[in-house]
Chain A
Amino acid sequence: MNCRKVRETLFLYADNEMEADLVISFRRHVEICPACAREIERALRLLSLVRQRCHRAPAPERLRQRILVSFPHRKA
């Protein structure tokens, strides 16, 4: 793989969506290319930042109740 291909497939790698044989040549390039290694680090950091810091909004209890009482099988 060259730099271009690595940059193109950065998130594929970070998301564990890359095919096994591509992972090998991806890693082989990254080992000898500090610039691409930094880009991977950047992508991984971004993803973990989003996963850790973007709070998930839980459904309010009233919504759960609203949905349940609307179900026809509960009215029967």
Chain B
Amino acid sequence: MTNTSHEMAPAAGDAQKRGWDFEAAAMPFVDSLYNTAYRMTRNAEDAEDLVQEAYFKAYKYYDKFQVGTNFKAWLFKILKNTFINSYRKQQQQPPTADFAEIEESFEQQISGEANESLPSPEQELLADVLDEDVQRAMDVLPEDYRMAVVLADLEGFSYKEIAEILEAPVGTVMSRLYRGRKMLEKAMLDYARDHGYLRAGEEPAKMRSRKRGSAA
């Protein structure tokens, strides 16, 4: 004759233990997840909801996590999928810089650029960019590029990890990082120029053609 309550106890205990295990493993990443969520949603309220939802899902599917694989990347993949499914549609695209030049194919971009360098006034300018210019420039990046740049440059993930999180080939990660960073640089320069750091007349012809703000 079996004692039902006796048999139930270990199962309930296992669930409890699994819960505590999850908490111990997952909570150290709350700052990283929130920072990424904040960069993607661009507002605190949505970022909090997104992170909460991601934790809920991760908790629920914790037994699907394969021990020995990258847990942090697994959490970020859940965050990314939650963002895509629940938040992306609500997001209003802000007025973005005109990135048409940079959105060209990776190949064209490279070949067009191979023999040009950024003129030195622009180099100097980058050193004077304000913190808020960097944030704003990040905010106007198209989503796919922003996600790759945030994961690499703010969260310090490797290409392989980013590929895992984005569920994309490493080659795609590389080209998104390349283009995303070029866009970021361009937007930062545009903002710095708006602040008037670059003296009139010094603006090189190459940079003059496109001005931000027409989309507002």
Contacts and interface: CB of A to CB of B under 8 A. Distances in A.
Interface of A: 3-4, 7-8, 10-12, 15, 17, 35, 38-39, 41-43, 45-47, 49-51, 53-60, 62-64, 66-68, 70-74, 76
Contacts of A42: 117-118, 123, 126
A64 B134 contact: no
Interface in B24-82: 27, 30-31, 33-35, 38-39, 44, 47-48, 51-52, 55-56, 59
Interface string B131-159: 10011001000000000010011100011
Contact of B31 (A7, A56, A67): A56
A68 B30 CA distance: 11
Interface string B188-206: 1000000000000000000
Given A45-B123, A47-B181, A54 B134 contact: yes
A4 B16 contact: no
Given A50-B153, A66-B52, A60 B44 contact: yes
Given A49-B129, A51-B154, A64 B27 contact: yes
Contact of A59 (B16, B20, B33): B33
Contacts of B135: 54-55
A71 B19 contact: yes
Contacts of B52: 63, 66-67, 70
A3 B115 contact: yes
Given A4-B110, A72-B19, A76-B16, A50 B55 contact: no
